[in-house]
Chains A and B, each alone.
Chain A
């Protein structure tokens, strides 16, 4: 049973560029959440997608946007990259039919983004 897969594993971008990160949820999961983890810190919630809609959003600027596809996979897009966007981006999936959490998440291994 495949877990959460993220691509690419690493990438380097130049300040001002745009980047797209991809996530395939664990089989049977229908909700995808994205987190940003700066070096030496805990993950910070970016947003969550359920039924192809953004259901909740953390304190991130509009430069961060996302999408969920009918097969539940998801993309995270970041425009006008800043040096401060350098971080590990984690995708987490869950089964969330009741509209609430509690069962925890399954995380991917993340995408390490470096902005130079």
Chain B
């Protein structure tokens, strides 16, 4: 079974600064995907960024980037130029690749990020 661990229950950052959220995972799979999701007070889970395990290049999406260390099973999220709208709960998630029986997301416990003005 896969496990995802987020060791930072809460974090805060000043507007316009950079913050890094940590995530580690445990799996015996070689083909998988990793995600960061954002859940604002509206409750909808929004995909922030996605990484394919077989790609060595770290994914980036505008102000969001990841540091994917496959050997260390680490997948951190860096948010640059933080904005007030980034305030939300952030979840790291794991998915096996190419399962014929279906796919599921395994989530961590989340990190509450607060961006202060």
Q: Which residues of A contact B (CB under 8 A)?
A: 33, 35, 40-45, 48, 50, 55-56, 58, 88, 90, 92, 94, 96, 98-110, 112
Contact = CB atoms under 8 A, between A and B. Distances in A.
Given A56-B102, A100-B97, A102-B98, A42 B110 contact: yes
B91 A55 contact: no
Interface in B83-112: 91, 95-110
B99 A41 contact: no
Interface centre among B42, B47, B99, B110 (most CB of A within 10 A): B99
B35 interface: yes
B108 A100 contact: no
Contacts of A107: 37, 44-46
Given A42-B4, A102-B97, A104-B33, 7 more contacts: A35-B105, A41-B110, A48-B104, A56-B102, A92-B105, A96-B102, A101-B97
Given A88-B43, A104-B50, A110-B44, A42 B103 contact: no
Interface of B: 4, 33, 35, 37, 42-47, 50, 52, 91, 95-110
A41 B109 contact: yes
A55 B102 CA distance: 6
B101 A102 contact: no
